[in-house]
Amino acid sequence: MIIVRSTAELGRALARSRELGKSIGYVPTMGALHDGHLALIQEAKRRDDVVVASIFVNPLQFGPNEDFESYPRDEETDLGLCEKVGADIAWLPTAEELFPPGFGLTVAVPRLSSVLCGQGRPTHFAGVTTEMSKILILLAPTAVYLGEKDFQQLVVMRAMVRDLGLPVEVRAVPTVREADGLALSSRNTYLSLAERPIAASLFRILTDLTTQLRTESGEVAAVLAAGRRQLIEAGVHRVEYLELVDSETLDPVPEATSGNRLVAAVRVGTTRLIDNVEV
């Protein structure tokens, strides 16, 4: 595996592959890698000739008083895992190179970014799309691989790529979970031993609710209200949202139909967790 830290090095590392017309799969990460990230790399390895995995904690997607400084970082372990699952190139760009002094561009998808997670994190998705638009233009991969756990981000990214006309395919990879159903996330390390089973109840309750929504499709509001109560009773400290939405527009839907997504964001202690289940 080749390790590069600048766009110039990245260009040189990919030059021969581009000459030969090889496909390039790109996996963006913020490090603190877990099996969910590794599944993205493995899927890219299966489908593309060359796999580039980036490790970059993007400062633009963190709001005031969020966990940018404390976000887990372990470069040596992350690089070992990238190599283990077959990444060809690990790219570790710096914020100074991607966002040099005087950088003033913002790329945003306002409507999709202002709902759900965007209500409590109003600058988050603009930070993601500003970073990713620049990276996708610099890297020009064949495809970018994103996990379904961050479902709103996936929808926003698809819209950004479409609206900018970028020749990149956005490929979704199913959520990877612990044995108890908890969606893998770098922020799971923030959970205490007592909070861990509470966090795991999120997926169980979402799964039960989808069953109800299928059988009681006209009772969406009542099912969601009951679901919010169940989450609090399970020990969740706060339900930021629990909604049934259209999987492309993220608009709330009054009746469950095939392809809808049940999406949730909750607080367990100080840890913010998100998850979703297809209906």
Residue 21, marked binder: no
Residue 269, marked binder: no
**Which tokens in the block code for residue 77?**
């372990």
Residue 42, marked binder: no
Measure the CA angle with vertex 58, ends 87 and 77; round to 5°: 40
CA dist., res. 118 & res. 78, Å (int)? 29
User: Among the options 25, 28, 29, 37, which is catalytic?
Assistant: 37
Residue 37, marked binder: yes
Residue 61, marked binder: yes
Burial of 274 (0-12, 13-18, 19+ CB in 10 A): buried
Residue 114, marked binder: no
Asked if 124 is an active-site residue, the reply is no
Burial of 141 (0-12, 13-18, 19+ CB in 10 A): buried
Residue 176, marked binder: yes
Burial of 212 (0-12, 13-18, 19+ CB in 10 A): middle
DSSP string, 51-82: EEEEE---GGG--TTSSTTTS---HHHHHHHH
Residue 149, marked binder: yes
Residue 35, marked binder: yes
CA dist., res. 111 & res. 95, Å (int)? 27
Distances (CA, A) of 14 to 8, 80, 173, 187: 10, 21, 24, 32
Residue 187, marked binder: yes
Angular region, 158: left φ>0, alpha ψ -120 to 50, beta rest: alpha
Q: Among 223, 271, 276, which Cα is nearest to 250's? A: 276
Residue 33, marked binder: yes
Cβ atoms of 147 and 18 within 8 Å: the answer is no
Residue with tokens 């580039």: 52
8 membership: H or E segment, kind and range? helix 7-19
CA dist., res. 129 & res. 225, Å (int)? 33
Residue 84, marked binder: no
Residue 132, marked binder: no
- The annotation places the binding site at 30-37, 61, 147-150, 153, 176, 184-187
- The annotation places the binding site for beta-alanine at 61
- The annotation places the binding site for ATP at 30-37, 147-150, 176, 184-187
- The annotation places the binding site for (R)-pantoate at 61, 153
Positions marked catalytic: 37
